[in-house]
Structure 1
Amino acid sequence: MKNQLDVTMALCAYNQVIKLGEKSEGVYHYQHLQAWHDFDGYTCYLSAYGVTLTLLFHGKYQLEYQKSDQLNDFLTVIGKLARNPSNTNQHKDVIAQREFSASETRQRMKGIVTLRSSSFTQYQKC
Protein backbone atom coordinates (compact mmCIF):
# COMPACT_ATOMS: atom_id res chain seq x y z
CA MET A 1 0.00 0.00 0.00
CA LYS A 2 2.87 2.37 0.80
CA ASN A 3 4.09 2.58 -2.81
CA GLN A 4 0.61 2.80 -4.29
CA LEU A 5 0.42 6.58 -4.00
CA ASP A 6 2.40 9.08 -6.06
CA VAL A 7 2.91 11.93 -3.58
CA THR A 8 3.56 14.46 -6.35
CA MET A 9 0.24 13.55 -7.96
CA ALA A 10 -1.51 13.89 -4.60
CA LEU A 11 0.06 17.32 -4.05
CA CYS A 12 -1.08 18.40 -7.51
CA ALA A 13 -4.63 17.26 -6.74
CA TYR A 14 -4.50 19.05 -3.38
CA ASN A 15 -3.36 22.22 -5.15
CA GLN A 16 -6.22 21.95 -7.67
CA VAL A 17 -8.79 21.62 -4.88
CA ILE A 18 -7.32 24.69 -3.17
CA LYS A 19 -7.36 26.66 -6.44
CA LEU A 20 -10.77 25.61 -7.71
CA GLY A 21 -12.67 24.89 -4.52
CA GLU A 22 -14.79 27.08 -2.32
CA LYS A 23 -13.55 27.68 1.20
CA SER A 24 -15.91 27.11 4.09
CA GLU A 25 -14.71 27.10 7.70
CA GLY A 26 -11.10 26.46 6.72
CA VAL A 27 -11.88 23.57 4.34
CA TYR A 28 -11.86 23.81 0.56
CA HIS A 29 -14.60 21.88 -1.26
CA TYR A 30 -14.32 20.94 -4.92
CA GLN A 31 -16.51 18.29 -6.51
CA HIS A 32 -16.36 15.35 -4.05
CA LEU A 33 -13.04 16.37 -2.53
CA GLN A 34 -12.21 18.31 0.60
CA ALA A 35 -8.77 19.81 1.30
CA TRP A 36 -7.33 21.56 4.32
CA HIS A 37 -4.06 22.04 6.16
CA ASP A 38 -2.80 22.54 9.69
CA PHE A 39 -1.92 25.94 11.10
CA ASP A 40 1.62 26.05 9.70
CA GLY A 41 0.88 24.41 6.33
CA TYR A 42 3.35 21.54 6.73
CA THR A 43 0.62 18.92 6.98
CA CYS A 44 -2.06 18.82 4.28
CA TYR A 45 -5.21 16.72 4.16
CA LEU A 46 -7.26 15.49 1.22
CA SER A 47 -10.48 13.60 1.77
CA ALA A 48 -13.28 11.96 -0.26
CA TYR A 49 -15.27 8.72 -0.39
CA GLY A 50 -14.46 7.79 3.20
CA VAL A 51 -10.71 8.11 2.62
CA THR A 52 -8.47 10.67 4.29
CA LEU A 53 -4.99 11.23 2.96
CA THR A 54 -2.56 13.04 5.25
CA LEU A 55 0.42 14.51 3.39
CA LEU A 56 3.27 14.92 5.83
CA PHE A 57 6.62 16.65 5.69
CA HIS A 58 9.42 15.11 3.53
CA GLY A 59 7.04 13.29 1.16
CA LYS A 60 5.56 10.96 3.75
CA TYR A 61 1.86 10.23 3.90
CA GLN A 62 -0.81 8.33 5.77
CA LEU A 63 -4.00 6.85 4.32
CA GLU A 64 -7.08 6.12 6.41
CA TYR A 65 -9.94 4.12 4.90
CA GLN A 66 -12.30 1.23 5.69
CA LYS A 67 -12.59 -0.62 2.35
CA SER A 68 -10.23 -1.01 -0.60
CA ASP A 69 -13.03 0.09 -2.98
CA GLN A 70 -13.07 3.47 -1.24
CA LEU A 71 -9.33 3.79 -1.74
CA ASN A 72 -9.57 2.85 -5.42
CA ASP A 73 -12.29 5.48 -6.01
CA PHE A 74 -10.25 8.09 -4.15
CA LEU A 75 -7.05 7.36 -6.09
CA THR A 76 -8.96 7.47 -9.38
CA VAL A 77 -10.48 10.86 -8.61
CA ILE A 78 -7.27 12.52 -7.43
CA GLY A 79 -5.39 11.01 -10.38
CA LYS A 80 -7.86 12.50 -12.86
CA LEU A 81 -7.77 15.87 -11.15
CA ALA A 82 -3.97 15.95 -11.04
CA ARG A 83 -3.62 14.92 -14.69
CA ASN A 84 -6.21 17.40 -15.94
CA PRO A 85 -5.11 20.84 -14.75
CA SER A 86 -6.87 22.38 -17.76
CA ASN A 87 -9.91 22.75 -15.51
CA THR A 88 -8.13 25.77 -14.06
CA ASN A 89 -8.74 27.63 -17.33
CA GLN A 90 -12.46 27.74 -16.50
CA HIS A 91 -11.80 29.85 -13.42
CA LYS A 92 -10.37 33.34 -13.66
CA ASP A 93 -7.26 34.19 -11.75
CA VAL A 94 -7.61 36.86 -9.09
CA ILE A 95 -4.83 38.88 -10.72
CA ALA A 96 -6.69 38.93 -14.04
CA GLN A 97 -9.78 40.33 -12.32
CA ARG A 98 -8.01 43.41 -10.93
CA GLU A 99 -6.52 46.39 -12.69
CA PHE A 100 -2.98 47.44 -11.84
CA SER A 101 -0.63 50.18 -12.91
CA ALA A 102 2.05 49.23 -15.45
CA SER A 103 4.86 49.06 -12.87
CA GLU A 104 2.74 47.05 -10.43
CA THR A 105 1.82 44.61 -13.21
CA ARG A 106 5.50 44.14 -14.15
CA GLN A 107 6.41 43.43 -10.51
CA ARG A 108 3.59 40.92 -10.13
CA MET A 109 4.40 39.16 -13.40
CA LYS A 110 8.08 38.91 -12.45
CA GLY A 111 7.06 37.25 -9.16
CA ILE A 112 4.68 34.85 -10.91
CA VAL A 113 7.30 33.81 -13.49
CA THR A 114 9.86 33.22 -10.73
CA LEU A 115 7.37 31.18 -8.71
CA ARG A 116 6.27 29.13 -11.70
CA SER A 117 9.87 28.47 -12.74
CA SER A 118 10.83 27.21 -9.29
CA SER A 119 7.64 25.14 -9.06
CA PHE A 120 8.30 23.66 -12.49
CA THR A 121 11.74 22.46 -11.56
CA GLN A 122 10.48 20.88 -8.34
CA TYR A 123 7.19 19.42 -9.60
CA GLN A 124 7.51 18.78 -13.30
CA LYS A 125 4.46 16.47 -13.28
CA CYS A 126 1.99 19.22 -12.28
Structure 2
Amino acid sequence: MKNDLNTATLLAAFEIVMENGEETEFGKRYEGIEASTDYDGYNIYLKGNGVELHIGFHNTYNLTYEQEHLKESFLKKIDAIVAPTVIDNHH
Protein backbone atom coordinates (compact mmCIF):
# COMPACT_ATOMS: atom_id res chain seq x y z
CA MET A 1 0.00 0.00 0.00
CA LYS A 2 1.33 3.40 -0.85
CA ASN A 3 1.99 5.64 2.09
CA ASP A 4 -0.88 8.10 1.63
CA LEU A 5 -2.04 8.37 5.23
CA ASN A 6 -0.59 10.82 7.71
CA THR A 7 0.46 8.67 10.66
CA ALA A 8 0.76 11.75 12.91
CA THR A 9 -2.95 12.43 12.32
CA LEU A 10 -3.82 8.79 12.93
CA LEU A 11 -1.84 8.70 16.16
CA ALA A 12 -3.44 11.96 17.30
CA ALA A 13 -6.88 10.44 16.64
CA PHE A 14 -5.88 7.35 18.64
CA GLU A 15 -4.88 9.53 21.61
CA ILE A 16 -8.12 11.54 21.46
CA VAL A 17 -10.25 8.38 21.35
CA MET A 18 -8.32 6.85 24.26
CA GLU A 19 -8.67 10.06 26.33
CA ASN A 20 -12.33 10.81 25.59
CA GLY A 21 -13.89 7.50 24.61
CA GLU A 22 -16.20 5.17 26.45
CA GLU A 23 -14.84 1.79 27.56
CA THR A 24 -15.52 -1.13 25.20
CA GLU A 25 -14.59 -4.78 25.33
CA PHE A 26 -11.42 -4.09 23.33
CA GLY A 27 -10.49 -0.49 24.09
CA LYS A 28 -12.38 2.78 23.84
CA ARG A 29 -14.94 4.21 21.40
CA TYR A 30 -15.37 7.87 20.54
CA GLU A 31 -17.37 9.46 17.71
CA GLY A 32 -17.89 6.03 16.10
CA ILE A 33 -14.20 5.09 16.10
CA GLU A 34 -12.89 2.33 18.37
CA ALA A 35 -9.25 2.43 19.46
CA SER A 36 -7.28 -0.37 21.06
CA THR A 37 -3.69 -1.50 21.51
CA ASP A 38 -1.88 -4.75 22.15
CA TYR A 39 -0.37 -5.57 25.53
CA ASP A 40 2.98 -3.87 24.89
CA GLY A 41 1.63 -0.81 23.05
CA TYR A 42 3.68 -1.41 19.90
CA ASN A 43 0.57 -2.05 17.80
CA ILE A 44 -2.48 0.17 17.84
CA TYR A 45 -5.81 -0.32 16.13
CA LEU A 46 -8.53 2.03 14.97
CA LYS A 47 -11.83 0.58 13.79
CA GLY A 48 -15.09 1.95 12.46
CA ASN A 49 -17.42 1.93 9.45
CA GLY A 50 -16.28 -1.53 8.34
CA VAL A 51 -12.65 -0.42 8.28
CA GLU A 52 -9.79 -1.61 10.44
CA LEU A 53 -6.49 0.20 10.65
CA HIS A 54 -3.44 -1.35 12.27
CA ILE A 55 -0.45 0.89 13.00
CA GLY A 56 2.72 -0.95 13.90
CA PHE A 57 6.32 -0.25 14.76
CA HIS A 58 8.03 2.60 12.85
CA ASN A 59 4.62 3.99 11.78
CA THR A 60 3.92 1.17 9.34
CA TYR A 61 0.24 0.60 8.79
CA ASN A 62 -2.28 -1.68 7.18
CA LEU A 63 -5.76 -0.49 6.26
CA THR A 64 -8.39 -3.19 5.70
CA TYR A 65 -11.76 -2.48 4.10
CA GLU A 66 -14.11 -3.97 1.54
CA GLN A 67 -15.28 -0.86 -0.28
CA GLU A 68 -13.58 2.44 -1.13
CA HIS A 69 -16.45 4.56 0.22
CA LEU A 70 -16.06 2.90 3.64
CA LYS A 71 -12.40 3.91 3.72
CA GLU A 72 -13.28 7.50 2.75
CA SER A 73 -15.95 7.70 5.45
CA PHE A 74 -13.55 6.28 8.05
CA LEU A 75 -10.80 8.78 7.15
CA LYS A 76 -13.29 11.67 7.30
CA LYS A 77 -14.22 10.59 10.84
CA ILE A 78 -10.54 10.49 11.79
CA ASP A 79 -10.06 14.00 10.39
CA ALA A 80 -13.18 15.25 12.20
CA ILE A 81 -11.89 13.89 15.51
CA VAL A 82 -8.47 15.52 15.07
CA ALA A 83 -9.61 18.80 13.46
CA PRO A 84 -10.72 20.60 16.66
CA THR A 85 -7.34 19.81 18.24
CA VAL A 86 -5.47 21.27 15.27
CA ILE A 87 -7.59 24.42 15.40
CA ASP A 88 -7.07 24.75 19.18
CA ASN A 89 -3.31 24.50 18.77
CA HIS A 90 -3.19 27.53 16.47
CA HIS A 91 -4.64 29.93 19.04
TM-score with structure 2 setting the length: 0.87
Deviations 1:7-26 (A, max 9, x none): 00000001100011011224
Richer in strand (by share): 2
Q: How does 1:63-102 map to 2 (within 5 A)?
A: 63-85=63-85
Partner SS for 2:3 = helix
Structure 1 position 51, deviation (Å): 0.4
Structure 2 contact 31–81 (Cα < 8 Å) conserved = no
What residue ranges of structure 2 are gaps of 5+ in the alignment?
A: none
Residue 13 of structure 2 corresponds to which residue in structure 1?
13
| Structure ranking higher in helix proportion | 1
Q: 2:17 corresponds to which letter in structure 1?
A: V
Query: Based on CA coordinates, which of the two structures has the bigger radius of gyration?
Result: 1
**Moved beyond 6 Å, runs of 4+:** none
After superposition, residues 32-51 of structure 1 pair within 5 angstroms as 32-51=32-51
The 2-side partners of 1:50 and 1:24 are apart by 17
Specify the SS of the correspondent of 1:16. Answer: helix
Query: Which stretches in structure 1 are left out of the alignment for 5+ residues?
Result: 87-123
